[in-house]
Amino acid sequence: MKDLRSLDLPELTQALKDLGQPGFRAKQIWKWLWQKGARSWEEMTDLPKDLRATLESEFHFQPTRIHAAQRSSDGTIKVAFELHDGFKIEGVLIPTSKRTTACISSQVGCSLDCRFCATGYLKRDRNVTAAEIYDQVHLINQLALENYGKKLDNIVYMGMGEPLLNYNEVLRSVSLITSPDALGMSPQRLTISTAGIAKMIKKLADDGVRTHLALSLHNADDAKRSEIMPINQSNNLDLLAEALGYWAEKTGERPTLEYTVIEGVNDSIEDEANLARFARRFPSKINLIEYNPISLADYKPTSRLMDFALGLESQKLIVNVRRSRGKDIDAACGQLAGKLQ
């Protein structure tokens, strides 16, 4: 049987016609799937029972479920999602006084081996489908409503995996999340974060993707960046600067440079100067992130975070300091390791 949620609307319409059903039934089903998050035929109460029985014999659902959830002292909620084949991924609900954000995963594990990131020590088992990405958003949105009485404001593709190595499914998920026929969120509420795959950054621009873009930079010296992010060996800083400049010119948007400041690794005055030079090569803004320790690596947070920020600001760069949320439950940036049971 086909996975019902792997079909786009024209494919679903044709499948219904092949069963002798009118086209409007496809739109009914589509609404149940992507606006209401239906998980079974029984929920689709405006479909005739005999039709539901027929469809159940032709298609199957592969829904994602919440396997476990853990709440931080600051209100952050980490969620382990179990996929239909038993694999698990993690996502995070991050509430603040101003907004509610979902951090979602695009792969089961990761293949990029970033030294400071817990997910980088996992193997990549498979890509996550668009429907499974949608499920994370739908289920985290339900948690936001249940726990904080408000819907999600923002979605960041910053969980487990590299989104641009799962390009087609990530873009299909963006369509499902932003389409008026589905969740209907503005693409400006979404941020795709990448460790830096230059040709795919350009493809995002050419494909007219209207989300925000963030680069996990973490060092602006090629040799030093390659030590902590092996992806830099094939996608060096010159290639990334060219791609980000292309993206900025095509979209009119400033990409964000994500820079986790780690003691003795990338927090020196020289590192600050390197970052400033790189950030000036194209329109950009900088997010400085406090490092969140993991048991797999012997790195420490810097004591120079604010000095680092002030030094960049004095050079007229746009800088934000991001304080971590959910550190006490290993839900902060770089800590997702698939251990929540």
d(CA 286, CA 250): 20
Query: How far out from the chain centre does Cα 235 lie?
Result: 20
d(CA 292, CA 311): 22
From residue 11, how far is each of 16, 167, 182 by CA, in Å? 9, 21, 16
Beta bridge mates, 101: 94, 154
Q: Which structure tokens are listed for 149?
A: 């009485």
Active-site residue, 90 included? yes
Q: For 168-203, give the DSSP string.
A: HHHHHHHHHHH-TTTT---GGGEEEEES--HHHHHH
- Give the active site residue among 90, 132, 169, 272: 90
- Give the active site residue among 103, 110, 114, 333: 333
Q: Which residues contact 126 (CB under 8 A, 6 or more apart)?
A: 87, 107, 108
Q: Give the closest residue to 256 by CA, choosing from 303, 216, 210.
A: 216
Cβ 34 vs Cβ 183: under 8 Å: yes
| Residue 144 burial by Cβ neighbours in a 10 Å radius (0-12, 13-18, 19+) | buried
Pairing of strands 126-127, 107-108: antiparallel
DSSP 119: G
Q: Which structure tokens are listed for 213?
A: 């873009």
Q: What is the rounded radius of gyration, in angstroms, for the C-alpha atoms of the chain?
A: 21
Beta bridge mates, 94: 101
Residues carrying an active site annotation: 90, 333
